[in-house]
Amino acid sequence: MKSNFFQIKYFKHGTAIKGFYLCKNINYKVTRLGDEYVDLFLEDSTGSIRAKIWSNINFYKNNLDRIYPVAVKG
């Protein structure tokens, strides 16, 4: 069975991805319109990338920890 997990160096604009990445940094921010979001810095053995979470912010505030692996689908 072929794995559909993507390493960061193979990300391409417009392609759906999924995988497990190390969460190196988490910032909880607010847009100029007052909407909360999460700004993440994710890393694997091939590179790093910034990611944003726009919904269910309260869930992530209670369940995300820096320096831990996270599952990503997007």
The one-character DSSP state at 37 is: E
State the pLDDT at residue 3: 58
Band of pLDDT at residue 74, cut at 50, 70 and 90:
confident
Q: What's the pTM value of the predicted model, to 2 decimals?
A: 0.79
Summarize pLDDT for 5-58 with one digit per residue, the tens: 889 998 888 888 899 999 999 999 999 999 999 999 999 999 999 999 999 998
pLDDT of residue 53: 93
Half-sphere exposure of 58 (CA within 13 A, CB side): 0
Q: Give the Å distances, CA to CA, from 32 to 16, 20, 26, 37.
A: 28, 31, 19, 11
